[in-house]
Structure 1
Amino acid sequence: MLLEFDVPRVMILFLLLAGPLFLAACDRETAPSGQAEPATGAESAKQGFGLESKSGLKAELSYRFAGRPAPDASFTGADGREVSLSDFAGRPLLVNLWATWCAPCKAEMPTLDNLAVLEEGEVSVIAVSQDLQGAKPVRAFFDSARIANLEPYTDPDNALSSAVGGTVALPTTILYNSQGKEVWRIIGGVEWDDAEIAKLLDEAA
């Protein structure tokens, strides 16, 4: 019985089981002061399914908020205009919430950039930075990583991440159907141009 184990064994068992969940998204220590905080592993795993890319990225697929309408929180386009998710109505929309200080966010971004091309005309793909510093670090990263197909949307007030529900870890990517209702969300990094992800995108049809 579990009660017969000594304390060290219980702690080792806990760490072995909990460790992978905490690695799915950025850890708290990487977020600048005042930045939107990543979720704990327990929160990201609720009603979730584990995903692991060939590159080693780990994530959780969650249907916890399925059916929830897209929020009307505004964020900023590359030209400084105010944007909201309703501006993309009429086709499925994939919204990636990320930041330049988040290692998994940066690791998956080139594949998200590829996905924008692969799904052109079928699914709108946008990446909205949660960096408190606004556009400057985002543009610098896009230039260095040669991100050419995504617009550098920014949300320095974290209004969008606050409005989507739950405790948002970075990266979090949410799929909305053409009616603006959430289908699923992925918490953590994945390879977005993978064939298995294409199957998940079909769920917005």
Structure 2
Amino acid sequence: MLAGLSLALSACDSGAEAPGQEQADLAAQKASLSGEIDDSRAGDLMPAINVSDPDGKKINLGALQGQPVLLNLWATWCPPCKVEMPMLNALAAENSDSLRVIVVSQELSKPENVLAFFQQKQLDNLHPWMDPEGLIGKALGANVLPITVLYDASGREIWRVQGEYDWSSAETQEAIAAALAE
């Protein structure tokens, strides 16, 4: 629980948006996305941690070997996370044959918030996995949300992005294609 709280406090305001507080348009939001690809932890194994969906279905991340995985940790109260999710949904659709995109909410409670967000944003290429205890963030050494890690088919880290990132950019497509070609 403490790991999840530290994620919340270090990156995003976990409070509800005030009425009338509007997000800027998507183009302006994308322009402010400042995360960078970091390969300093390349070779680290994907944590073998169970995540569950709001219906109670579970998967163990360590058992996802066989296909490259892009693992994203996010929360509904994290503004950059909310900007990234539609881009990750599109990325999942565009790369469904070669890459599995797994998004794991770090919500401390209220799985209905995750489901409502998925419905509102029509995230039909993603599944609403949850890690309410923040175990994955702790295992990854994450101190911000969002954090996204690309793993190869054997479950070894290729690179990660801490903080917000434009998952729709040509640079992203090139970085993913290059990593998957190795």
TM score, norm. by length of structure 2:
0.80
Residue 99 in 1 paired to residue 75 in 2? yes
Q: Does 1:37 align with 2:13?
A: no
Secondary structure at 2:5 match in 1: coil
CA distance in 1, matches of 2:30, 2:53: 33
Look up the equivalent residue of 1:37 and give its one-letter code.
L
Inter-partner Cα distance in structure 1 for 2:121 and 2:99? 23
2-side partners of 1:94 and 1:101: how far apart?
Answer: 21
Q: CA deviation at 1:194?
A: 2.0
Q: Which residue of 2 aligns with 1:108?
A: 84
1:77 to 29, 47, 53: 53
- Asked if the contact 1:73/1:84 (under 8 Å) is kept, the reply is yes
Trace 1:140-159 onto structure 2 (pairs within 5 A).
Answer: 140-159=116-135
1:123 equivalent in structure 2:
99
Alpha-carbon offset, residue 93 of structure 1: 0.3
- The AA in structure 1 aligned to 2:167 is W
* Number of residues of Structure 1 aligned to a counterpart in Structure 2: 162
Identity of aligned residues (%): 37
Within 2, Cα distance between the matches of 1:69 and 1:79? 28
Aligned to 1:178: 153
User: Considering only aligned residues, what root-mean-square deviation do their CA atoms show, in Å?
Assistant: 2.3
Is there any run of 5+ residues in structure 1 with no aligned partner, and where? 1-32, 42-52
Q: Gapped runs of 5+ residues in structure 2?
A: 12-28
Q: Distance in 1 between matches of 2:9 and 2:71?
A: 18
Q: Is the 2:54–2:129 contact (alpha carbons within 8 Å) kept by the matching residues of 1?
A: yes
Indicate yes or no: 2:30 matched with 1:60.
Answer: no
Q: 1:161: how far off? A: 1.1
- Determine if the alignment matches structure 1 residue 86 to structure 2 residue 56: no
| Residues in 1 aligned to 2:111 and 2:145: alpha-carbon distance in whole angstroms | 18
Offset at 1:38? Answer: 5.7
Any runs of at least 4 consecutive aligned residues in structure 1 with deviations exceeding 6 A, and if so which? none
1:128 & 1:135 partners in 2: Cα distance? 12
**Higher relative contact order (Cα pairs below 8 Å, separated by 6+ residues):** 2
TM-fit CA distance, 1:170: 0.1
CA pair 171-89 structure 1, distance change in 2 beyond 3 A: same
8 Å CA contact retained: 2:73, 2:148: yes
SS of the residue 1:94 aligns to:
strand
For the structure 1 residues 77 and 160, does the alpha-carbon distance in structure 2 shift closer, same or farther, using more than 3 Å as the test?
Answer: same
Decide which structure has the larger Cα Rg and report it. 1
